Amino acid sequence: MANPLYQQLERDNDVLVLGAGVVGINAAYWLAKRGRQVTVIDRREAVALETSYANGGQVSVCHAEPWANPRAPWQVLRWLMDSQAPLSFRPRLDAQQWRWLLQWLLECTPARTRRNTIGIVDLALHSRELLKQQRQEHGLDYHQSSQGIVHFYRTESAFKAAQSVSHLMRDLGCNRQVIDTDRVLDIEPALSAVKRRIVGGTYTADDESGDAHLYTRAMRRVCESMGVRFVMQAEVQSVRAVSGGVEVALNRRDDIDLPTGDYALVRARDAVVALGTASTALLKPLGINLSLYPAKGYSMTVPIATDDMAPTVSLTDDENKLVFSRLGNRLRVAGMAELVGYDPRIDRHRCAAMAEQVKTLFPHIRAYDQTEYWAGLRPSTPSNRPYVGPSRIPHLWLNTGHGSLGWTMSCGSGERLSKMMLLA
Ligand SMILES: Cc1cc2nc3c(=O)[nH]c(=O)nc-3n(C[C@H](O)[C@H](O)[C@H](O)COP(=O)(O)OP(=O)(O)OC[C@H]3O[C@@H](n4cnc5c(N)ncnc54)[C@H](O)[C@@H]3O)c2cc1C
């Protein structure tokens, strides 16, 4: 029996984009804009159903310092003793996990932190600019807000450390102001319940927020209007180099009738790997060893009534490492990092701890009982910098490993990758 995917797919293609999250959709868009014939392939029934589904919503360019920094190892050690801490780690008999941790420690030196911050901010600034252009050009609506992001601090030491990072950010072209508590409250009065615990903040007026899932869906429609084809529920099994291109083996996700190994084999001049955390396993047999590990995070989404005292400006609570984005009549809160392998299950205790912290900050929101919880795996590199560019296999390109800033960097990495492919 011929694999049914052959009815949807050409045997020979120009470009295949593997993965339809916020990163893959942007690779497809920018490649189509540069005249390539693009087909996007994803195992799920719709776009952005994995890590891009319910993230924190921040387009956080000017607060984009990497997780690996000189203060981080000490903070992590303290957190490991605390069951309620934003980070948790389950040691596993897994060489990938230990290698990743070691590489992460090496990225914590001042020199590497500076280099990584420069790289992230450069890509993120470019990305935010392109996002604004896309919004105007295509009339996108994804519950975006352009009111900036306030990052608030509860200890003098954290606030002081933020001031030196703010200097660096300003040197790199970011508009990041250090502000006192009164100004924090002027910008976001809904923080009044915890005013006395806030020692200061930083405000990045040019940063934005929005719903990455709605955005990716809207961009699918834009891409389709540009001739991009989407083949959903098609699982990529393997990729290999062939003369003048690559060959991808695929199967329908629900195909239980087919004999094992009866794949659809399709060729392309180029393929882009944008599979988030699944990129590592696909590329390993090709000898491409990505330093990419899942950092599980959680989000909660709460309905907001018009007269609830809820934030409208996007926020970051430094102590609890939580981010807040108002998405229309919902409040999205996200945070936590668990290094527990490829396990997307929701831990109810972690969610309850997050909900308690949010209720303390915003006690006047009424619909906490209608909260939706979600967990996603950030495709994290030790440096927080993504892989964007060629791989060691000709015609196979990488656009993955965007970690905690995939929404923030997605437009820029798609655009830069498409330019590299044009020049190759
Ligand atoms: C709790 C949390 C909060 C976050 N907050 C923010 C934030 O505020 N701002 C920000 O910028 N970033 C944030 N992020 C990070 C951001 O969400 C990710 O970096 C981004 O979504 C990664 O996008 P992606 O397209 O690389 O991966 P994904 O969205 O996971 O897309 C990968 C796609 O590949 C598909 N796929 C995988 N394997 C296969 C296969 N074998 N065959 C076919 N298809 C396959 C999947 O179905 C999926 O659609 C957050 C993440 C989390 C978890």
Domain ranges in the chain are 4-51+215-289+386-423, 58-117+143-209+291-380
pLDDT at 45: 95
Contact 207, 149 (CB under 8 A): yes
Q: With contact defined as beta carbons under 8 Å apart, do 301 and 375 qualify?
A: no
User: Going by DSSP bridges, is the β-strand pair 149-153/314-317 parallel, antiparallel, or unpaired?
Assistant: parallel
User: For residue 57, how far is its CA from the centre of ligand 1 (angstroms)?
Assistant: 12
Name the closest-CA residue to atom 30, ligand 1. Answer: 51
| Ligand 1 neighbourhood includes 134 CB (under 6 angstroms) | no
Residues with Cβ within 8 Å of 409's Cβ and at least 6 positions away in sequence, in order, are 120, 123, 124, 127, 386, 402
Q: CA 331 to CA 324: how far, in whole Å?
A: 7
Distance 139 CA to ligand 1 centre (A): 24
pTM of the model: 0.96
Q: Is the CB–ligand 1 distance for residue 51 below 6 Å?
A: yes
State the distance between the two ends of the chain, measured CA to CA, in whole angstroms.
39
Q: What is the pLDDT of residue 262?
A: 81
**Residue 276 CA, ligand 1 centroid: distance in Å:** 5
Distance 401 CA to ligand 1 centre (A): 9
Would the CB of 321 count as within 6 Å of ligand 1?
no
* 4-51+215-289+386-423 topology per CATH: FAD/NAD(P)-binding domain (3.50.50)
pLDDT at 1: 60
pLDDT value of position 307: 86
Q: Using a 6 Å cutoff on CB, does residue 332 contact ligand 1? A: no
Architecture category of domain 58-117+143-209+291-380 in CATH: 2-Layer Sandwich (3.30)
pLDDT of res. 86: 82
> H-helix or E-strand containing 352?
helix 348-361
Closest-CA residue, ligand 1 atom 33, reads 19
Q: Is the CB of 69 under 6 A from ligand 1?
A: no
For each of the chain's 424 residues, which pLDDT tens digit applies?
Answer: 678 888 888 889 999 999 999 999 999 999 999 999 999 999 999 999 999 999 999 999 998 889 999 989 988 888 877 777 888 887 888 888 999 999 999 999 999 999 999 999 999 999 999 999 999 999 999 999 999 999 999 999 999 999 988 999 999 999 999 999 999 999 999 999 999 999 999 999 999 999 999 999 999 999 999 999 999 999 999 999 999 999 999 998 776 666 667 889 999 999 999 999 999 999 999 999 999 999 999 999 999 998 899 999 999 999 999 999 999 999 999 999 999 899 999 999 999 999 999 999 999 999 999 999 999 999 999 999 999 999 999 999 999 999 999 999 999 999 999 999 999 9
- Hey, which of 52, 321, 380 would you mutate to test ligand 1's pocket, going by the most ligand atoms within 8 Å of its Cβ? 52
